[in-house]
Amino acid sequence: MPPAPAADGFSSEMYEDSSVDATARVVDAGSDGDERTVEAALRPRRLSEFPGQPRVRDQLALVLEAAKRRGSPPDHVLLSGPPGLGKTTLAMIVAAELEKPIRVTSGPAIQHAGDLAAVLSSLMEGEVLFLDEIHRMSRAAEEMLYLAMEDFRVDVIVGKGPGATAIPLELPPFTVVGATTRAGLLPAPLRDRFGFTGHLDFYATHDLVRILHRSARLLEVDADEAGIGEIARRSRGTPRIANRLLRRVRDWAQVHGRSVVDQDAAHAALALFDVDDRGLDRLDRAVLEALCRRFRGGPVGLGTLAVAVGEEAETVETVAEPFLVREGFMVRTPRGRAATGLAWQHLGLTPPPGTDPMLTPLPFDGGEGRLGS
Ligand SMILES: Nc1ncnc2c1ncn2[C@@H]1O[C@H](COP(=O)(O)OP(=O)(O)OP(=O)(O)O)[C@@H](O)[C@H]1O
């Protein structure tokens, strides 16, 4: 197994990906070790191995191919979408396709313009700079980034107060890949510096099936079609969750002396881990329960809802809400979040009389086709 990249987004480091063997196997199938190491080993390494997100994949393939033919770095790339859909994976793939090294850092790690200047001034020509959680950078760093992205230049400030001088420093051309779960928080001038923006959407069940088959092979887990299908349907359209559930079902099968991850094993393990038949987890259900039981279906403000479930508003907004809205359990109204008829139905509750007739149950087609593009 090649050394697993430590680059999962929270420190500034080099990740030479192009030499990584795409068939890398996770040898220790019996234990997860560090979950992030396992996650990294399961990442596809090339666009051609990346299932799902067909539009973003095709658009990115074109942008990268054109840049390679011109022999110059591509436009800066912004990737947005809920957690676990493959933004980091695609950033690594951009570098691998360009056969360039990637430097990984994140918004929270760049609180001062000087932090960013240090990273920028050490970039090599054509290098990919991956900025995860780019919406969490400080304003001063954002301003430095605009200039660097547009003019490949940073102004290094020497001295303090009235005597301070800005010394311009030329940078070699490079490509920023920014990732965000909250594209709406990016100031327009920063958003405009990205020549290509890809929005990642939840995956269709059949794409998750492909991802799970590949992960099972890499983890050396024997899994049948029904077992994989069950896990895929309950993975909230999210590869990270699919891979995690596969590992939990594998654990269950191993402990219960089953040699194959089948539908039985999937049912038992997912029940144990509180993943219901629509893939809703504890937080999703807590949000719906609070909406229906405490706020009579809403609408209720995000902050109030978050307090009711004991979570940060950002967690509710970026982790639970996109899936619940996408699947028709919840709607966002100008007056706050509201439960739909489907939410009441799913919890086995009856909506109070007078509930907005617009919030009637949506048809459910069994999970296939409601997700993904
Ligand atoms: N298209 C895909 N095919 C196969 N596996 C995938 C795919 N997308 C994501 N994964 C798997 O899901 C895990 C999470 O993906 P990744 O870290 O790229 O998501 P992310 O969008 O960057 O999440 P976050 O916003 O939390 O940083 C990866 O380790 C990878 O194993």
pLDDT of residue 232: 98
Cβ of 85 closer than 6 Å to ligand 1, yes or no, is yes
Which residue from 50, 55, 88, 318 has its CB within 8 A of the most atoms of ligand 1, so it is best to mutate?
88
Whether 88 is catalytic is yes
Output 210 or 139, whichever has higher pLDDT. Answer: 210
- Interval between CA 40 and ligand 1 midpoint (Å): 9
Model pTM? 0.84
d(CA 6, CA 36): 8
pLDDT of residue 105: 94
Whether 132 is catalytic is yes
- Interval between CA 86 and ligand 1 midpoint (Å): 3
- Interval between CA 294 and ligand 1 midpoint (Å): 35
- Among 240, 247, 250, 278, the one annotated catalytic: 240
Whether 285 is catalytic is no
Whether 278 is catalytic is no
CATH architecture of 205-272: Orthogonal Bundle (1.10)
Q: What are the helix (H) ranges across 152-238?
A: 188-192, 205-219, 225-233
Q: Tell whether 57 is in a known binding site.
A: no
Pull the structure tokens for residue 42.
Answer: 């399961």
Strand order in the sheet with 128-132: 13-15, 102-106, 128-132, 175-180, 77-80, 196-199
**Domain boundaries in the chain?**
13-199, 205-272, 282-347
The letter for the amino acid at 323 is: F
Q: In residues, how long is the chain?
A: 373
Atom 9, ligand 1: residue with shortest CA distance:
86
What confidence category does residue 70 fall into, taking pLDDT thresholds of 50, 70 and 90?
very high
What confidence category does residue 357 fall into, taking pLDDT thresholds of 50, 70 and 90?
low
Is residue 251 exposed (0-12), middle (13-18) or buried (19+ Cβ within 10 Å)? middle
Going by C-alpha positions, the residue among 248, 241, 237, 180 that lies closest to residue 39 is: 241
Q: Is the pLDDT of residue 31 over 60?
A: no
Give bridge partners of residue 168 from the DSSP assignment.
155
Q: Which atom of ligand 1 is found nearest the CA of 91?
A: 18
d(CA 372, CA 200): 9
What confidence category does residue 46 fall into, taking pLDDT thresholds of 50, 70 and 90?
very high
Could you give the ipTM of this predicted complex? 0.97
Query: Tens digit of pLDDT for each residue in 133-149?
Result: 999 999 889 989 988 99
Please provide the CATH number assigned to the domain covering 13-199: 3.40.50.300
Same fold, 205-272 and 282-347: no
Q: Is the pLDDT of residue 9 over 70?
A: no
Contact 339, 288 (CB under 8 A): yes
For residue 30, give every residue at least 6 positions away whose Cβ sits within 8 Å of its Cβ, in sequence order, or none: 254
- Interval between CA 119 and ligand 1 midpoint (Å): 25
Region 15-32: mean pLDDT is 34
Region 78-97: mean pLDDT is 96
What confidence category does residue 180 fall into, taking pLDDT thresholds of 50, 70 and 90?
very high
CATH architecture of 282-347: Orthogonal Bundle (1.10)
d(CA 288, CA 155): 50
Cα–Cα distances in angstroms (integers) from residue 44 to residues 53, 93, 247, in the given order:
13, 8, 18
Whether 180 is catalytic is no
Q: Tell whether 88 is in a known binding site.
A: yes
Query: Tens digit of pLDDT for each residue in 271-298?
Result: 999 999 999 999 999 999 999 999 999 8
Region 37-51: mean pLDDT is 89
Cβ of 240 closer than 6 Å to ligand 1, yes or no, is yes
DSSP 8-state assignment for residue 162: G
